[in-house]
Amino acid sequence: MANRTIKTDLQMSGEKAYKDACKEINNSLKVLNSEMKLVSAEFANNEKSTEALTAKQTILKKQFEEQAKKVEENEKMLAQLRAEENQNTDAIARFEVALNNSKAA
């Protein structure tokens, strides 16, 4: 007796755009983390100087802005999932976790 395998790939509308946006934001955060390491290394002997603190503050501000973008993307995707007629509870739960994690970061 032959076995049949049926595979389906369900993709939510907007999920690709969401993933692309998150990937871009994560790449920006990686670059900012490396910039912070560079600033820390440059001012290793004088880490409390005005220049060092100003440079760190600038990078931290950029990191905060990128993280805010990530929260916004998570909120948009979650709202879209909740608005759909046939709500996918697993996807909603997954994006609620992602939203909470991005807010906590």
Domain count, the chain: 1
Residue 66 included in any domain = yes
Could you please report the per-residue DSSP string of 25-40?
A: HHHHHHHHHHHHHHHH
Among 12-21, 44-53, 75-84, 96-105, which is the least confidently predicted range? 12-21
- Averaged over 4-33, what is the pLDDT? 78
| Residues with Cβ within 8 Å of residue 51, at least 6 apart in sequence | 43
Q: What is the pLDDT of residue 9?
A: 47
**Residue 59 structural domain:** 15-104
Task: Round to the nearest angstrom and report the end-to-end CA distance of the chain.
Answer: 53
- Averaged over 25-47, what is the pLDDT? 93
- Averaged over 69-73, what is the pLDDT? 92
Residue 1 included in any domain = no
Residue 91 included in any domain = yes
- Averaged over 55-84, what is the pLDDT? 91
- Whether 88 shows a pLDDT value over 70: the answer reads yes
Which tokens belong to 88? 């996918």
